[in-house]
Amino acid sequence: MKKLGLIFMFFTIVCSAQQDAQFTQYMYNTIEINPAYAGSRGVLSVFGLYRTQWVGLDGAPETSTFSVNTPLNNSNLGLGVSLVNDKIGPTNENTLSADLSYSIPTSESFKLSFGIKATANLFNLDIGKLSYEDQNDEMFQDLKNKFTPNVGAGIYWHSDRAYLGLSVPNFIETNRYADNRSDTAIFKDKINYYFMAGYVFNLDRLEYIKFKPALLTKMVEGAPLQVDVSGNFMFNDKFVLGLAYRWSASVSAMAGFQVTKGMYIGYGYDHETTQLRKYNSGSHEIFLRFDFFNNYSKLTSPRFF
């Protein structure tokens, strides 16, 4: 079963268009997919997340991410830095990104932010974790710390209650080869296109209960269109409960708790709706966010994003 799982995962990686790491609760870590988000919360925000996908299936994706983003002084500039480690079967990727945003007011409550992203990626492939027929096949050789740079961009129109975003985190398609003589790529990173939207409704006059529907779509060549829809309820600015559906892929339950004004913890569980549900017990995601306030901070109450 172990070999079968690893071979299945590697076949998926090699033969289809590779997508960026996915997160169920992306709305709390938007900087990973849209650089224009940097500094938009108005505070220094530190975020860490761990995700284990398809638990029980050997070689299944496992992702860790850490990010920091902040407005620069009291200017219209925002800065962000993030690190993502993504493990899938025999592969291990580390991606370091730097984001810069610039915001302009479009009304009393809305701003339009433009962002650029610079990325450095280190890719590793351990063939020892696979079983294959021809041990001398040059196509199947270890890849160690293969470095590739990339650039991306995004726009983000937002207020304290609503947002719209368009982004392409990586403009350059990356093909990784076993050696300089090979003309067959064993791993391909395709361009990912994102669109997101969300709005926060007050369901009572005292604003005790808030509801936020949200949408995320992701398009990449060689893969089905991915559509995530979610709905989250926040109670008394403390507790968050929600559900999400990833089209033709999974259903998710989400929960969160505002421990202090600056600390928020969240958890998500995904249940597969595809045939893979027969071979795993679901996916788990946990994150922790710290907001550091100062005299210039404008974030007066907890947000869903």
- What CATH number does residue 205 fall under? 2.40.160.40
User: Could you read off the pLDDT of 51-64 as tens digits, one per residue?
Assistant: 999 999 888 999 99
Separation CA 238–CA 259 (nearest Å): 7
CA distance 103 to 223: 33
In a domain, 64, yes or no: yes
8 token code pair: 């299945």
Give the C-alpha distances (Å, rounded to integers) separating 61 from 79, 104, 168, 247, 280. 29, 38, 22, 19, 12
Q: Which residue has the tokens 């993502």?
A: 84
Greater model confidence, 9 or 67? 67
Q: Kindly give the residue spans of alpha helices, DSSP state H, lying in the chain.
A: 2-15
Amino acid 11: pLDDT? 44
Would residue 146 count as lying in a domain?
Answer: yes
Cα dihedral 302, 113, 33, 65, rounded to 10, equals -50
Rounded to the nearest 10 degrees, how much is the dihedral formed by the CA atoms of 157, 158, 163, 169?
50
Between vectors from CA 79 to CA 74 and to CA 84, what angle results, nearest 5°? 150
Domain count across the chain: 1
Per the domain annotation, does 133 fall within a domain? yes
Report pLDDT for 17. Answer: 43
In a domain, 8, yes or no: no
Maximum distance among all Cα pairs of the chain, rounded to whole angstroms:
70
For residue 174, the enclosing domain spans 26-292
| Of residues 140, 154, 219, 150, the one with CA closest to residue 186 | 140
Q: Name the nearest CA neighbour of 129 among 93, 94, 92, 89.
A: 89
- DSSP label at 30? G
Kindly calculate the radius of gyration of the chain based on its CA atoms and give it in whole angstroms.
20
Query: Is 222 among the domain residues?
Result: yes
Above 50 in pLDDT, residue 42? yes
The residue type of 250 is: S
Look at residues 124, 126, 125, 127 and name the one whose alpha carbon lies nearest to residue 145.
124
Q: How far apart are CA 249 and CA 229, in angstroms?
A: 12
> Does residue 136 surpass a pLDDT of 90?
no
Residue 237 belongs to a domain: yes
Q: Is the pLDDT of residue 296 over 80?
A: no
Six-digit token pair at 52? 């284990």
**Closest C-alpha among 175, 216, 265 to residue 37:** 216
Residue 51 within a domain: yes
- 3-class DSSP state of 11: helix
pLDDT averaged over the chain?
86
Residue 2 lies in a domain: no
**Mean pLDDT calculated for residue range 211-237:** 93
Q: Over the stretch 78-93, which tens digit does the pLDDT of each residue have?
A: 999 999 999 988 889 9
Mean pLDDT of 156-178: 89
Q: Per residue in 90-120, pLDDT tens?
A: 889 999 999 999 999 999 999 999 999 999 9
At residue 223 the predicted structure's pLDDT band, cuts being 50, 70 and 90, is confident
Q: Which residue has the higher pLDDT, 106 or 224?
A: 106
Residue with token string 């559900």: 243
Q: What share of the chain is helix, strand, coil (3-state, %, to 5)?
A: 10, 55, 35
Q: Is the pLDDT of residue 9 over 50?
A: no
Q: With b meaning 16 or more CB within 10 Å and e meaning fewer, what string describes 11-26? A: eebbeeebebbbbbbb
- Contact present, 126 and 92 (Cβ < 8 Å): yes
